[in-house]
Structure 1
Amino acid sequence: MENPPRLFVYGAGEHSKVLLGLYPILWQWIVAFLDGRRSEPFLGKPCLHPDAVDFGVDATVLYSSREYQEEMYKRMIFKGVNHVRIYSGES
């Protein structure tokens, strides 16, 4: 793959563990996890504060939370990234 996806998973908790257990193919594209309350590595990948990331070009944020997905999305909507919401619409 010439330009592989650059994936940032927003949410470093149980939801992400389950998600990656179900879809392990995602591992190859994960650059880092995003979380406002965690700063240590998560599942062997860096964990960064969402406001402190320079996403560069062609980055995708996958929102890994049912409860906070829309709040996370609203925080990231102007960051110039592609968005993947797992759950449809407002919760």
Structure 2
Amino acid sequence: MDDPAIAFGVVLRALRKEAGLSQEQLGLEAGVERNYVSLIERGINQPSIRVIFKLCAALDVRASSVIEAVEKQLESSTSKVTSKRR
């Protein structure tokens, strides 16, 4: 996976589930619609920086740690593809 939007969605979904929240609950806490959370998690929509901070606040995580997790997601996917090509 080399798409940051998809990687962000994967990380967001994992954090949401770890927090025990539904998409609707996260949306309510962050002040966004449930369907928007779904679109972000599927990599269809990309949140603004403002929405990223709202989501992180609702999940009680630092935005920088989320971005770091997205980078790791991208790196692990890239390394899997690279090792398969060898």
TM-score, normalized by length of structure 1? 0.29
> Between Structure 1 and Structure 2, which shows a larger proportion of helix residues?
2
- Using CA pairs below 8 Å that are at least 6 residues apart, which structure has the higher relative contact order? 2
> Between Structure 1 and Structure 2, which shows a larger proportion of strand residues?
1
TM-score, normalized by length of structure 2? 0.30
